[in-house]
Every structure is written in C-alpha cells, then in structure tokens.
Structure 1
Amino acid sequence: MNNWFKALFKKDKPIIAMAHLPALPGTQRYNKEKGVQHLVDWVKRDIKYLVEGGVDAVMYCNEDDRPYVFEAGLEQVAAMTRVITNTKPSSIPFGVDFLWDPIATMAVAHATGASFIREVITGVYESDMGLWNPDAGELMRFKSRIGAEDIKVFNNVVPEFASPLGTRSATERAESSIVSSFADVILVSGSMAGSEADLSTIEEIKKRVNVPVLVNTGVKPGNVKDYLSVADGAIVGSCLKKEGYTWNPVSLDNVMKLMKEVEKNR
C-alpha cells in the first residue's frame, strides 16, 4: 500500500462519503429562485452530518447536473468553487469530482485545497453522454502547469452509465492507466450511481496493481464487510441519503449505521 494513502486518510479501509451538490447554474434542474446560497446551505448541512457520523473523508460532486456533459460551463465551475470554499471540512480531507470534466475537476480541486480528484481519465467508452474519450495527457500537463502535483488522481476504470470500447479487461485497463497515465488510485463502479460494483473485478485488479483499489458505488451496511475484505476502501453516496435515494439529503442515522459496520470490518 502506498504510504501517502495511509498518511492522508489516517485509517485502514477509509470511507469517502459523497457530498452531492444540487443542480448548478446553467443546468436545467438549477433552482434560480433559491440561487447559489441554497446550494451552500444544502451542502453545509450534508457535510455536518457526514463529519458527525464519522466518515474518513468527503468527495464533492455535481451529481444532479443531469444530463451530464464532458465540458463544464464557467458558471458551474464558479458555483462549485464557491460551495466548496464555504463548506469544506477542517477535520478530514476532501476531494472533487466534476462530472465528467477532468480539467474542471482539477481546477476546482486546486483552487479549493482538495487532496484528490475522481474522474475517468483513460480509455474510450460508449455512454449515455455519447462517445467518451478522456485525455489523460492533457489532464496531467494541466496539473503540472497549475502546480497541483500533490493532488492525487483516482481513475474510474469501470465508469457508471458506460461500457468500454475494445477488448481489454478492466484489470488490463487499470494496469495500463497506472503506467501510461500515472493514476494514483483505481476505482471500480457498478452500472450507475448506487449500483453494486462487481466484487470479482475488484479482486482481480487487486492482484495485479500496486496502488489502492476502491469500490466506487453500491456500498451499504449489508455488503460493506464483503467489499472491505477485498478493496482498500470505499466511496459511498446513496446509502447515506434519506431513503437511500441518491439525490436526497444526507441522513445522519444512515451515516452512523454504515460507519458502525465499517468499524467492525476494517
């Protein structure tokens, strides 16, 4: 296991909880009447409950900017930066994911003091958003240009809402992304937000790579033991929400239920 991983998260098998932003300006679900302050208030409450519930880190994400696009708007980047600046936790690390724009993600992360980002940075996929063709070379050059070398990159090699083009396995994609594109962490997801990731895929990737491998979707109290027996940690969102619904506010009770099981099985 990489030394930086334990140094950053402090715990074995860290749980990174999602701080999902309501729809941002420029998207069709944005609430113009309530404005950006509503986003700040919503996320501030969620962060409070996540920290009180004992998670090890949080990840900010524009989850409700559906349908997703590959290039962020300036108004979205500005609003997300404001939200994070006004809500970021002081006691645990945080990361950023701007769906699905790695450059915008890195820019917001650097501006707000984040420790890591999550994105799809390699491969070619057919997806709900169309042909998905990220540019890891441009991301890493941008990272260097802005002085963000310390920000770790979590690469999702089995992304939601998509299927890979080509014949390489998830394990092969994970291995090559570490060598060719300097991925610091590998993520494995289910078919969409809240869907369970394939445990055997995580097991196979773990055998072949020397970086942390995290489960990215589908973790809940009933299966966290199985996932943590294999993965190096988990990114968790839907099960922490009221009624387990991805776009609902965080439930403190749900956070505490999950973390109780996590502490039994780290």
Structure 2
Amino acid sequence: MDSRFEQTFATPKPILGMLHLTGATPAERLAIARREAEILLANGVDGVIVENYFGDKDDVRGVLEWLEARQPDAQVGLNVLRDHHLAFELARQFRVDFIQMDSVAGHLRPDEDADFAAELKELREGANALLLGGVRFKYQPVNSGRTEEEDLLLGMQRCDAFVVTSDATGQETDLEKVRRFRALTGGHFPLLIGAGLTAANAADQLALADGAIVGSFFKDSYVDTGIVDEDHVRELMGVVAGIRHQPVAVRAGAGT
C-alpha cells in the first residue's frame, strides 16, 4: 500500500514552490502571491506552500481563500512560522493538503518534548493534512540531548516525511546529511530537499531525495526577497521532468 506521501503526491519527486508573501501592504502581498501561484502552477510545479515569511497570519488566510476559490485543483501546503497551532486550525477551515513544520523532534528539552508530542498527535488527529517535518532543520536549536538517530526515529512517528536542509535559507542541502538521514530512517521514509535546490544541482539532489521545496531559485534575484520569475521556474522544472522517474539512489545502509 502506498504511503500517505505517495497518496498525496501522485507525481514522483514533487516540487513544491514557496509563496513567501512579499509586499509592502496586504493588497500587494495578495496580488504578488496570486501572480506567483499562477506562474508556479502553470509551469508544472506540483504544489504551493503558503508561508508567513514576510506576511502575517491575515495574509496567509487571504491567500488560502483565493487558492480555494480560484485554484481548486492545486495541491496547497501551509507553514505558519512560530505558530503550528494556527496551521492546523487553518487546515481544518480550508482545503490544505499538507502542513510543513520546521521541527518535529530535537528542538525541545526532554521535559518539554513529551507534552509537545502529545499535543502534536492530537492536532494531527483533528486534520487530514499530510505533515512534512524537520529534524536538525535550519535555524532550529538542538536541545533534546538525544542522538540524531534517536530524534529521527521519534520524528518518523510524528510526521509523514522529513524536510532536510543545511544551515540557512538558500544554502545547498548537504548530500551527506541526506544520505545519513536515508540510512538512519531505514531507506523508505520520504525525504524532501528543503533548501538550496537549483537547476544545476537538481539531478544530484533528487537522486537521493523524494522531492523538494523550492523558494530562492524561483525568484528573479535567486534570493528569498525576490519575486517568482517564470523563466527560472521553467528552467528548473525542465530539469526535473527528465529525472522524475529515476529511483532514489540511496537506501538503508548505503552511501557514507
């Protein structure tokens, strides 16, 4: 039986584009997000993630409303930074296919982690959305006192796929880290590249991963402050089209 990840993303190696909600006013942020979503979806990106990176919670809600009304067939994701409770609340109110959380294990002290795990379990039971989670994610602290492997094994119980990054937005994800996560999780748990994917490195990155979240490369300036550029989207998706059906190269116990 297919995993929840495979049930949600029918296309192999899905590419998910970030809507960072840039703009000086609420109206401008919505207008830019609408144009960016249309560009991404028209050029083969498999889903969009609405994130309050530059905008606020009201902006997130406005973009979700527009997507639900005007892009009913789109795969829609949500990452509410610093407020995962709101993400699950919105996933109950809108058509949200998946939620991204920057950390599901490792970021809390042991005395805090048990309550977090119980709360997350309850939140997940109240929403149908897939959960993409981070362990040792960019900018996240490591306070668990556990090994990386222990945090990964716990994380596998708390989400449906891992998003893997190096240390910063736009920084290429360390392939050795991806290989290590693949081996430590038994070889079949879905892994997505969470930062630094480009047309130049997509073949190597996606040979080891099951998909990717892309923000900076799609922008006109290749940095997160820019605006989605159609030529950049076409360039990357052209590369991805040629490698979508290649199997993941690294399985359990491989590739150190």
Q: Identify the TM-score tier after normalising by the shorter chain.
A: 0.7 to 0.9
What's the CA shift for 1:123? Answer: 2.2
What's the CA shift for 1:234? Answer: 0.6
**What pairs with 1:1-266 in structure 2 (closer than 5 Å)?**
2-22=2-22, 31=24, 34=25, 36-64=26-54, 76-88=56-68, 89-119=71-101, 120-124=103-107, 135-144=116-125, 147-148=126-127, 150-166=128-144, 168-179=146-157, 182-209=158-185, 210-266=188-244
Greater shift, 152-161 or 40-49, is seen at: 152-161
Distance in structure 1 (CA, Å) of the matches to 2:171 and 2:141: 15
- 1:176-219 per-residue CA deviation (whole Å, 9 max, x = no partner) reads 2223xx21111111211111111111112212324211111110
What's the CA shift for 1:260? Answer: 0.6
- 1:133-153 per-residue CA deviation (whole Å, 9 max, x = no partner) reads 792322322343xx31x2111
CA RMSD of aligned residues (A): 2.3
TM-score (norm 2): 0.84
Q: Judging changes above 3 Å, is the alpha-carbon distance between structure 1 residues 2 and 212 closer, same or farther for their aligned structure 2 residues?
A: farther
For the residue of structure 1 that corresponds to 2:60, the secondary structure is: helix
Distance in structure 2 (CA, Å) of the matches to 1:170 and 1:197: 17
For the residue of structure 2 that corresponds to 1:242, the secondary structure is: coil
Cα pair 2:50 2:78 within 8 Å, conserved? yes
- 1:212-237 per-residue CA deviation (whole Å, 9 max, x = no partner) reads 11111110111111111111111111
What's the CA shift for 1:167? Answer: 5.1
Q: Judging changes above 3 Å, is the alpha-carbon distance between structure 1 residues 170 and 202 closer, same or farther for their aligned structure 2 residues?
A: farther
What's the CA shift for 1:85? Answer: 0.9
Cα pair 2:99 2:131 within 8 Å, conserved? yes
Give the residue type in structure 1 aligned to 2:67.
T
Give the residue type in structure 2 aligned to 1:11.
T
For the residue of structure 2 that corresponds to 1:155, the secondary structure is: strand
What's the CA shift for 1:241? Answer: 0.5
TM-score (norm 1): 0.81
Cα pair 1:81 1:111 within 8 Å, conserved? no
Segments of 5+ residues of structure 2 without an aligned counterpart are 245-256
Distance in structure 1 (CA, Å) of the matches to 2:168 and 2:54: 13
Aligned counterpart, 1:26: none
What's the CA shift for 1:5? Answer: 2.2
Give the residue type in structure 2 aligned to 1:42.
I
Question: Percent identity between the aligned chains?
Answer: 25
What's the CA shift for 1:162? Answer: 3.1
Q: Judging changes above 3 Å, is the alpha-carbon distance between structure 1 residues 169 and 227 closer, same or farther for their aligned structure 2 residues?
A: farther
Corresponding residue pairs, total? 236
